[in-house]
Amino acid sequence: MTEKGNILMQRYEMGKLLGKGSFAKVYHARCVNTSHSVAIKVIDKDKIFKCGLMDQISREISVMKLVKHPNIVQMYEVMATKTKIYFVLEYVKGGELFNKVQRGRLKEDVARKYFQQLISAIDFCHSRGVYHRDLKPENLLLDESRNLKISDFGLSALPDCKRQDGLLHTSCGTPAYVAPEVISRKGYDGAKADIWACGVILYVLLAGYLPFQDKNLVDMYKKICKAQLKWPSWFSSDIRKLLRRLLHPNPSARISIAEIMEHPWFRIGHPNHGKLFDYTMNSTDNVMPIDMNLALDHSNANTVGGNQAVEKLTNLNAFDIISLSNGFDLSGIFEENSNKEEAKFTSTNTASTIITKLEEIAMSLRLKITKKCGGLLKMECSKPGRKGVMSLNAEVFHITPNFHLVEIKKTNGDTLEYQKVMKQVMRPALKDIVW
């Protein structure tokens, strides 16, 4: 259905693959009736159902219906079959802003233009109660006229996502662009978190590199929470003043969008100062009604076989990883805590591959698997040691479909026996799947 040259739903001629992610592929396509170019995001229903992402997809569709703005990628329609969901989107041919920054920092007037367009679009989103929560140069596209377009509202939030305290509590986003209050996990204002991300983006555009970076994830978060900025020599005093207010660690003291629009540096050459866009879609938008029930119905979808235990893995994000480990740096080598009774490693293998490998190791050690549930394996020796029967828990945590964290803990028995098993057997046996 999605091969190049095929006609989708008698409406779109599918073209070349533009990109792919964990759950979706994006193709260039052409409307059969109008010859208008579009991008079609093809989402696999089985994968998103297994990972519990249907609510996220539903929310993304709802959000895209709300945000009609010239600096936001538009959704034209949503279609579905038994196994796939199709987002028909505006085709933006200029690529990611990230690719432009990779070649070096931007000139100040160019960076200011993109920042003005970004703020105008985010102001519009916030006026509709939409918070993006994953703003970064990779999610900012450029059209053929070099105008900015915000994409990927997959992590966005609506007012109904707030709790009774009026704040959002889901920790999400890309680590280098996330606000200090999101890291703290005590609740945050979605608008203030977006403004912080806009500040990081502005710094990156002007400097060519991130304001807070470290190979160790925890150390990077410490830098973010302190918000200690270093200024390149070419940053003017106006830019520094604006960035200090954008990247203020206290969200209540952080600059608002209305104040950004009044800032002298921002106002230079801004054609729509202080105004929201009144955007009316043109005839090429061809927006069709979205059948949410069809798009999200999974009752007739094909069932993909496989290890049923893997389907119920615990999901982790970068913020959960921090709580699991002090100083965990995602290096892929074993990391052990101070009492030497647990170890962690990361792997790019599938969960089923990791679990199968752990089962093989258990058999070689003559360990009895006493419980297997989701990504959890409980194992114990058949004979007691110096301090009773040694038992281990090995649990696989889902971070992304191609990235897992494995935690091995001693739950009973002698620590020295556990360390011997880890050093002489577990480590060597697992070396092929440790990333």
Rounded-to-integer distance, Cα 233 and Cα 281, Å: 43
- Report residue 133 CA to chain centroid gap: 9
Q: Answer yes or no: is 41 a known binding residue.
A: yes
Q: How far apart are CA 277 and CA 271, in angstroms?
A: 11
**Sign of the alpha-carbon dihedral angle for 9, 11, 15, 20:** negative
| The two three-digit tokens of residue 116, written as one number | 């003005």
Please name the residues in contact with 376: beta carbons below 8 A apart, sequence gap of 6 or more.
Answer: 393, 394, 395, 396
189 in Cβ contact with 176 (< 8 Å): no
Q: Which of 44, 109, 123, 134 is catalytic?
A: 134
251: which strand partners? none
- Beta-bridged to residue 8, according to DSSP, are 12
Phi-psi region of 153 (alpha: psi -120 to 50; beta: other; left: phi over 0): alpha
Give catalytic status of residue 160 as yes or no. Answer: no
Q: Contact 410/402 with Cβ under 8 angstroms?
A: no
Residue among 363, 272, 394, 350 at smallest CA distance from 50:
350
Chain Cα centroid distance, residue 226: 23
Q: What residues are designated binding site?
A: 41
Q: Which residues are catalytic?
A: 134
Which residues are annotated as part of the binding site for ATP? Answer: 41
